[in-house]
Amino acid sequence: MQIEAILKPKKAARRKGKKKDADEDVLDRAADEEVSRLREAMLSAAADDEQANREKLPATAKLRMLPQVMDVLRRSSLSQSIIDNNLLEGVRKWLEPLPDKSLPALDIQKEFFPALKKMEFIDSGVIKDAKLGPVIIFYTKCKRVTPDIQRIANDLVSAWSRPIIKRSASYRDRVIPTAEIADEHRGGERLNAILARAREADKNRVRKNAVQIPQRELGTYTVAPRSNFSTSKNTASVDVDIERRKKNADRLRSLTRKLATK
């Protein structure tokens, strides 16, 4: 009797564990089916909009589905199902330009790009399966993209490429290459070379006497100059200055005492 009393709770716990696992499997299958159906619907809507665009008709199929798609993309509990069913392929199709080279509706861009930025589960494998990289790079280069969308696209490229090039996201871990500042002799040689190229370019000008408005040019520097600042030298100069001030104060006090005794 005692053995049965001991084993009964264990058997009950085992049955509860199996039931819990079964419930989780049911939920996972339901999530996979929901995401899979949504992916097929997204691809179908993208195809409908492409056909409408070729026929010079309004492309509205994707816009009608947008609330339903965003409801799924915002649910973090479906992240694994989004990966397993490659829902981002549908996202890529929606972001691709239409046959007439026009961009998708601005509402789609404004919803998708912030959502992609919040998806921390996106890695190189997910990007490769969805072929999402080239589309995001396109948005970083296209001049018709709004500045806000382009900024997020640049952030995505930076974040997604960081693990590939093994670069840390922390600013403290960044390594800035440095180089010695060229001496005066080298600087003179470089200046002469620059002036020579300028004179050569000036010969090829069609209108030599034309007046040109000066243009400011900002260079892009990838190597920082090495600092010549020395802490020891600076500390020594401070000590000398303090000592000098002390001596001046002593002289002033001595002179004041002499004047007071007279």
CB-count exposure of residue 38 (10 Å: 0-12, 13-18, 19+): buried
% of the chain beyond a pLDDT of 90: 41
Question: pLDDT (tens digit, 9 = 90+) per residue, 170-203?
Answer: 555 555 555 555 554 444 456 677 777 777 766 6
**Paired tokens of 26:** 């049911």
Report pLDDT for 96: 95
Residue, of 117 and 208, whose pLDDT is higher? 117
pLDDT in tens, 202-224: 666 555 455 555 555 545 555 56
Least confident segment among 71-75, 133-137, 214-218: 214-218
Lookup: tokens for 234: 């600076």
Q: Which residue has the higher pLDDT, 222 or 249?
A: 249
- Quick check: 83 and 122 in contact, CB under 8 A? no
Q: 0.75 exceeded by the pTM?
A: no
